[in-house]
């Protein structure tokens, strides 16, 4: 396919192609956050934010702003809407998994919603399959300027291309230093920005059930920041998405198809810069091209290692497998895998978070999609695409960005990168010729031990491209009779995987890192059990935790871990009832209007279900949670469901979860004390029983609820 014809095809590998009067590439957080603040400061009618994470405390300009507005993001947005009576701010944030809770701002719905101005609306986006995430990072101002890329408006994202190891401005809201962080964003205006406004409003409608009106086409002034120089003017911009199949909405895999089409069409070179590399379909396409005798060369820049212990032993293993495969296939001069090394002067490693693909300097995509399976089909993603189609000015701009990124990583300038490419006639060759001993690109050779390769499951379990049925998960972990010869190995694999996940959760959720040895755990248990008021302390902690919206699963797990599966389960059940009663009472006191500010658009559906179905509805929302534990309690109180039905439904709904947690932790502790094949096998069996049992119970409740709804509709 010639470049004049182009790769972009709406409905296949992109959603829409729209014109932009200006396009700008923003490398690293300092550039993006400054431009974002300047654009939002000029907003007249609308600010739309789609986010994986957001932090009201973060400062877009940590060095200080001269626009007369507060520095923290939440206060900044409040001041804007007070200044402009027609301005509305709508923020949609992923209704995140509890595994990420320790790294997020506590109570964002309170700080960016309830406590904010009434024209600042904050909602959680839980409109996706179980286990998926809303991962789009989109900011749209007045439908006149939009930003898309890998950066969320949250803490520890700000940095400059210098990535100074001791930069005093790169810090957490708590004051602690943050490691160097690299990412890329794209700014567009005109019809392309308006189209992204349409995308954001549709996502808002799906997540909340409410419609947002488009912004009027004309406005008196231009929100484009005065000091933001365009890299291109008057160009077509493609918008590509990933959306999983969910409820009545079909699956969208435009980003995956775009990557496959770009790899297949590459003639000379492919430059990839991405946080992850675990997408099997993408690796397959790359391998096919690398096998060709006259195929293109591929350079991949990614992170030096994975961000957490859990990632290292999951998607880190997958990356090592894919890299080993490509390295064995490709001639060394045509494939290079690198990470950005900040040199011996830095105690940090660069957190490379960008998502960039450049094909032959003819096609560029920047967005939120990682090179992992999730981003290809499971999570929601948004990328922007530029295609030259024979226009030299666009090719030069794309090549300029690629060289700018390489110059940053290699600690040189774009002119030297261009000279090296000309001298070597090769992308990989140019990188190799410019690599040095200090700050530079270092060769990435992820280690993969034979034992980990055997134990860690394949990518469709750890990094799925589509939702996984629990029955299929159990089948993958425990083979059938036809595979009896490998049952022991698979049991070991499932047991160790459960052990890894459980240990990572303990490290990240609690202060148990110091108590993970069996001896110290035993000492801690004995100390608490000797306290005469320990039961009251536990119940008081449950009450306080519920009021502070601490995840109920975390509280149950800690109590069971300390007091054992039987006594701990009893304490957990009583604590859940006490916290549920207290927040139920608060719901009755605050009433429907105040609770709506906390619970958002889910309140209407949830309150109708609770009021109509009573015990069954409460049992269902406990087993299949549609909102955090505390929010469900408040909503129940606000809807005035009978206390008797509410408590009975809570007991019935919480019992399976408490039992499952107690069983799981009991097996974890047994494995820690005696890590033998028998205990590992029992742990694996417990995991399978929990997964299959909870899946069966949830499916049964869904069917009964659907049956009752059908009967009501027929009546």
Three-state DSSP at 165 gives: coil
Closest by Cα among 93, 602, 140, 628 to 380: 93
For residue range 630-684, list pLDDT tens digits in order: 666 666 666 556 666 777 777 777 777 777 777 666 655 454 444 455 444 554 5
Between CA 140 and CA 147 the distance in angstroms is 7
pLDDT at 205 over 90: yes
pLDDT at 158: 96
CB 520 within 8 A of CB 562: no
Element (H, E) at 358: strand 355-359
91: left (phi over 0), alpha (psi -120 to 50) or beta: beta
Give the alpha-carbon dihedral of 609, 611, 612, 614, to 10 degrees: 90
The per-residue pLDDT for 677 is 52
Is the pLDDT assigned to residue 2 strictly greater than 90?
A: no
DSSP 75-137: HHHHHHHHH-TT-EEEEEEE---GGGGGGS-S-HHIIIIITS-TTEEEEEE--S-TT--B---
Mean per-residue pLDDT, 158-177: 92
Please give the helix or strand (H or E) that residue 139 lies within, else none: strand 138-141
Could you tell me which residues come within 8 angstroms of residue 600 by beta carbon, excluding any fewer than 6 positions away? 109, 113, 122, 123, 124, 208
| Per-residue confidence (pLDDT) for residue 635, from 0 to 100 | 65
Which of 139-153, 172-186, 265-279, 527-541 is least confident?
527-541
Contact 275, 366 (CB under 8 A): no
In this structure, what is the dihedral angle of CA atoms 685, 690, 692, 698, given to the nearest 10 degrees? 180
**How would DSSP label each residue in 401-426?**
HHHHHHHHHHTS-HHHHHHHHHHHS-
CA distance 550 to 618: 20
Domains of the chain: 22-233 (3.30.870.10), 236-443 (3.30.870.10), 489-714 (no CATH)
- The answer to whether residue 337 scores a pLDDT higher than 90 is yes
The answer to whether residue 256 scores a pLDDT higher than 70 is yes
Give the contacts of 393 (CB within 8 A, at least 6 positions apart).
232
Amino acid 364: pLDDT:
98
Percent of the chain at pLDDT exceeding 70: 64
User: Is residue 613 within 8 Å of residue 641, measured between CB atoms?
Assistant: no
Per-residue pLDDT tens digits for 33-45: 999 999 999 999 9
pLDDT at 478 over 50: no
- Give per-residue pLDDT as tens, 11-64: 999 999 999 999 999 999 999 999 999 999 999 999 999 999 999 899 999 988
Tell me the two tokens of residue 243. 């959306």
Structural tokens at position 697: 């119970």
Return the structure tokens found at 409.
């990583």
State how beta strands 138-141 and 46-51 pair.
Answer: antiparallel
Determine contact, residues 365/14, Cβ cutoff 8 Å. no
């Amino acid at each position: 396919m010639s470049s004049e014809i182009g790769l972009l095809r709406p409905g296949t590998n992109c959603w829409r192609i729209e014109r932009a009067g200006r396009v700008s590439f923003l490398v690293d957080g300092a550039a993006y956050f400054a431009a974002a603040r300047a654009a939002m400061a000029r907003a007249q009618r609308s600010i739309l934010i789609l986010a994986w994470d957001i932090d009201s405390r973060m400062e877009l300009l940590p060095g200080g702003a001269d626009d007369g507005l507060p520095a923290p993001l939440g206060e900044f947005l409040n001041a804007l809407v007070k200044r402009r009576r027609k301005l509305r701010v709508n923020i949609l944030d992923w209704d995140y998994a509890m595994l990420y809770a320790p790294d997020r701002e506590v109570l964002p719905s309170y700080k960016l919603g309830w406590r904010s101005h009434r024209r600042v609306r904050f909602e959680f986006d839980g409109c996706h399959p179980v286990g998926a995430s809303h991962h789009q990072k989109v900011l749209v101002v007045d439908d006149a300027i939009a930003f898309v890329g890998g950066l969320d408006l949250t803490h520890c994202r700000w940095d400059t291309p210098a990535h100074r190891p001791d930069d005093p401005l790169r810090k957490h809201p708590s004051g602690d230093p943050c490691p160097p962080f690299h990412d890329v964003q794209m700014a567009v205006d005109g019809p392309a920005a308006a189209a992204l406004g349409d995308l954001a409003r549709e996502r808002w409608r799906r997540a909340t059930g409410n419609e947002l009106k488009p912004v009027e086409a004309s406005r008196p002034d231009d929100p484009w920041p005065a000091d933001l120089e365009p890299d291109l003017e008057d160009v077509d911009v493609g918008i590509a998405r990933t959306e999983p199949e969910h409820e009545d909405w079909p699956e969208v895999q435009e980003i995956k198809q775009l990557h496959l089409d770009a790899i297949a069409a590459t003639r000379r070179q492919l430059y990839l810069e991405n946080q992850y590399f675990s997408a099997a379909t993408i690796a397959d396409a790359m391998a096919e091209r690398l096998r060709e005798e006259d195929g293109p060369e591929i350079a991949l820049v990614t992170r030096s290692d994975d961000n957490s212990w859990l990632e290292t032993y999951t998607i880190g293993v997958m990356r090592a497998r894919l890299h080993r495969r490509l390295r064995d296939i490709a001639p060394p001069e045509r494939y290079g895998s690198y990470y950005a090394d900040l040199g011996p002067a830095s105690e940090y490693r660069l957190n490379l978070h960008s998502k960039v693909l450049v094909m032959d300097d003819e096609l560029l995509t920047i967005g939120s999609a990682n090179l992992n399976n999730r981003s290809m089909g499971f999570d929601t993603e948004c990328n922007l695409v530029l295609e030259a189609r024979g226009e030299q000015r666009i090719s030069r701009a794309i090549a300029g960005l690629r060289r700018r990124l390489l110059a940053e990583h290699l600690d040189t300038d774009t002119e030297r990168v261009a000279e090296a490419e000309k001298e070597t006639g090769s992308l990989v060759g140019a990188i190799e010729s410019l690599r040095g001993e200090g700050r530079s690109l270092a060769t990435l050779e992820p280690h993969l031990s034979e034992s980990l390769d055997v134990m860690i499951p394949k990518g469709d379990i750890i990094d799925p491209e589509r939702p996984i049925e629990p029955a299929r998960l159990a089948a993958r972990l425990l083979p059938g009779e036809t595979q009896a010869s490998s049952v022991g190995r698979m049991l070991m694999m499932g047991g160790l995987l459960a052990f890894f996940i459980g240990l990572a959760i303990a490290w990240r959720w609690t202060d148990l890192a110091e108590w993970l040895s069996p001896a110290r755990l035993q000492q801690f248990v004995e100390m608490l059990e000797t306290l005469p008021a320990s039961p009251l302390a536990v119940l008081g902690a449950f009450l306080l935790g519920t009021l502070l919206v601490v995840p109920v699963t975390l509280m149950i797990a800690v109590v069971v871990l300390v007091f054992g599966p039987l006594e701990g389960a009893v304490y957990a059940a009583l604590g859940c009832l006490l916290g549920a009663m207290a927040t139920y009472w608060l719901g009755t006191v605050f009433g429907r209007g105040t609770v709506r500010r906390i619970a958002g658009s889910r309140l209407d559906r949830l309150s109708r279900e609770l009021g109509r179905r009573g015990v069954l509805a409460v049992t269902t929302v406990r087993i299949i949670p549609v909102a955090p534990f505390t929010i469900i309690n408040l909503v129940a109180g606000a809807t005035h469901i009978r206390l008797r039905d509410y408590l009975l439904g809570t007991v019935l709904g919480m019992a399976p979860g408490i039992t499952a947690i107690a069983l799981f932790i009991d097996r974890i502790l047994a494995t820690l004390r005696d890590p033998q094949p028998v205990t590992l096998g029992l742990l694996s069996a417990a995991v399978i029983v929990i997964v299959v049992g909870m899946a069966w119970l949830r499916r049964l409740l869904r069917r009964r609820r659907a049956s009752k709804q059908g009967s009501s509709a027929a009546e």
